Amino acid sequence: MRGAWDAPVRFMHPMNHDGLVTTMKSLSRVRDPHHGGRKTRIGASHARHGVFPMTSRIVVFLALLVVVPSSAWADGPPKNVAELQSSHDRALLRDLAAYIAANPKADDLDQAYMALFDKVIEHDWFSDHEAIAQEYLAKFPDGPVASLARIIGTMSRAQAGRFDEALTRFKELMASLGKTEQEEFAANFADSLASASTAAGEYNVSRQVYEALLARYGDSPTLRQKVRDELVRLELIGKPAPGAAVTDVKGSTIRLSDLRGKYVLVDFWATWCAPCVAELPRLQAAYAKYRDAGFEIVGISLDESKGALTDFVKARKIPWRQVHNASSGGDLVEAFGVKSIPATFLIDPQGVITRLELRGPVLDQALAKLLRDATVRRTSR
């Protein structure tokens, strides 16, 4: 199952300018992943997913404490490392923007723009920085980081729910890219936009994104297979969820059909998957908020060791049922056609797959609306 996208998915700078090549959107960042968060292709080794050993995390934390004095925390000290990194990176963006404004003819101006666009893309802060991206394109339409500026413009439209405009910009960017040398860059950008549109329920936009990608890079067998997998996954919308019986980590049999009458989020994840772990607080909040209203979660773990899963679940006090796919007596990964994680499927009370890729604030918004509508339907009968 391994291929060109098994490694941590990143935006790669599409051009080499004075030896400057930058890596965008590290898979392992701990942040809100719902706007096109990067995914982990199944089969990659854990070390390649950017899961830092504890000693490295401590070094990073201490380094950031040195860089960001407590006096800079206007809203109080950060609650965790993710907030600390976010605060540090926002300060860096302000400094980069000020440097660009004060030094419009600097020899390293392209490097400054590249560093700024890198951080914007890493954190999905597209809307806040669309203006500087458009400013760059107006001054340097063929500049060495013009593609990155166009990504910011495209994704800011997606964040605002203007998916038709985002799709138009995406197609324009595809037309401007070269062939083989920019294939990975194009594929990762397509994943980002398609993930955002899928989370918003704009499945037709997602299909068109992948179709445009295929039209541009269809000569690649690996890419053709990737696009085929993504389109097959989108076709699951409106179809019954797989009915396979599996055994959960406590030894009980579970069938998704047994949960009819509830909205069920099937969450494919692993303890070594950084974006999956980063999403857990939101899942726990949603579970606590909506469980009594008819919401359930079933976790499908891709961990190699069942013990690693059970220890993690116990330590984190995760209350919903967990299935260790490798020892479950079935294969829900295959049944759902999952090729990368995190991956979520929302099943409605009739057992039909109704939404994909619900994570972050979008999950709470979708559940609030669906459960409110379900209550209205029941009371109006």
Q: What is the pLDDT of residues 235-249, one digit of tens each?
A: 999 999 998 899 999
Residue 75 banded pLDDT, cuts 50, 70, 90: low
Residue 15, pLDDT > 50, answer no
Burial category of 104 from C-beta neighbours within 10 Å (exposed 0-12, middle 13-18, buried 19 and up): exposed
pLDDT at position 225 is 92
Residue 178, pLDDT > 80, answer no
Residue 133, pLDDT > 80, answer yes
Residue 375 banded pLDDT, cuts 50, 70, 90: low
Percent of the chain with pLDDT over 90: 64
Averaged confidence pLDDT in the chain: 82
| Of 263, 180, 189, 250, residue with least CA distance to 222 | 180
146 near 56, Cβ under 8 Å? no
Residue 376, pLDDT > 60, answer no
No. of H helices and E strands in the chain?
Answer: 13, 11
8-state DSSP, 17: B
Identify the residue with better confidence: 74 or 348. Answer: 348
pLDDT at position 53 is 40
Burial category of 242 from C-beta neighbours within 10 Å (exposed 0-12, middle 13-18, buried 19 and up): buried
Rounded Cα distance, 369 and 207, in Å? 25
Burial category of 378 from C-beta neighbours within 10 Å (exposed 0-12, middle 13-18, buried 19 and up): exposed
Residue 300, pLDDT > 90, answer yes
pLDDT, tens digit, 9 for 90 and up, residues 359-370: 888 899 999 999
Burial category of 138 from C-beta neighbours within 10 Å (exposed 0-12, middle 13-18, buried 19 and up): exposed
Alpha carbon of 1 to those of 168, 227, 337, 340: distances in Å?
A: 32, 14, 12, 10
Rounded Cα distance, 348 and 293, in Å? 13
Total-model pTM: 0.73
169 near 154, Cβ under 8 Å? yes
Outline where DSSP puts E strands in the chain: 11-12, 23-24, 40-41, 246-247, 253-254, 263-269, 295-301, 321-324, 340-341, 343-347, 353-356
Question: 246-379: what CATH class?
Answer: alpha beta
> Cα torsion for 337, 339, 340, 341, to the nearest 10°?
30
Q: How many CB atoms lie within 10 A of CB 103?
A: 12
Residue 322, pLDDT > 80, answer yes
Task: Please give the average per-residue pLDDT across 35-58, as a whole number.
Answer: 45
Alpha carbon of 23 to those of 206, 225, 307, 324: distances in Å?
A: 24, 24, 34, 33
pLDDT, tens digit, 9 for 90 and up, residues 247-257: 999 999 999 99
Residue 82 banded pLDDT, cuts 50, 70, 90: confident
Per domain, the residue ranges of the chain are 11-51+103-234, 246-379
Half-sphere exposure of 291 (CA within 13 A, CB side): 10
The amino acid that residue 202 corresponds to is: E
Percent of the chain with pLDDT over 70: 77
pLDDT at position 42 is 65
